[in-house]
Amino acid sequence: MSRLRLLLLAAALALAAGSSHGFEFHEATLDAIHLGFKNGSLTSTALVRFYLSQISRLNHLVHAVIEVNPDALRQAARADAERRSSGDRQIGGLHGVPVLLKDNIATRDRLNTTAGSLALLGSVVRQDAGVVRRLRRAGAVVLSKANMEEWANFRNLEGLGGWSARGGQGRVSVSITQFMAATIFFFGINCRKFLSSNANQIF
């Protein structure tokens, strides 16, 4: 058997082995993510890599993400290590789950917080916003900053229709809403659900 055939056979066997225990990333629910973490078919690192690839592939069309976190993969790897060493200890509902934050929510890290404006590019905030502190304590991975109307639509009464100087014109198309639904909308709803599920409600 030729070397090429051996390589093709090995690839086919690898795909077959992965298909029975593989994780379906597209439109995954938070429950499915938790199950994947539990049964070993998913890691935070793999999940973050998937969403980063989706951003790279689709963001030039929808302009939904204004900046990605250069530390997202490091945060994901840390969450994976914490999950492996946790034993029977309870892990929070957002632990290791990537979230997107609107660009006017302050993060004290290597991400900018600009409200979509070039005027604030490079500025450094004093501390994380309260919601970000709670997200970090819950173990969430801050994946990126989402585009928004510049200055939260403060520039004029008519609004900017989803435009910012940093992020450009935001667009949504039915054919590419998988990316949007699986990131900004999905995680926004579920962050609200899990962060307000105890006495320390933030919403």
Q: What is the dihedral of CA 119, 122, 125, 130, to 10 degrees?
A: 80
Q: Which domains are seen in the chain, by residue range?
A: 27-195 (3.90.1300.10)
In 3D space, the residue among 144, 163, 170, 140 whose CA is nearest the CA of residue 60 turns out to be 170
The pTM for the full model equals 0.75
Per-residue pLDDT of the chain (203 residues; tens, 9 = 90+): 455 454 444 444 444 344 335 899 988 999 999 999 999 999 999 999 999 999 999 999 999 999 999 999 999 999 999 999 987 677 888 999 999 999 999 999 999 999 999 999 999 999 999 999 999 999 999 999 999 999 988 777 777 788 999 999 998 654 444 444 444 444 444 444 444 443 333 32
- Asked if 81 contacts 43 with a C-beta cutoff of 8 angstroms, the reply is no
Query: How many Å is the maximal CA-CA distance in the chain?
Result: 71
Contacts of 20 (CB under 8 A, 6+ apart): none
Q: Is 82 left (phi over 0), alpha (psi -120 to 50) or beta?
A: alpha
- Asked if 138 contacts 96 with a C-beta cutoff of 8 angstroms, the reply is no
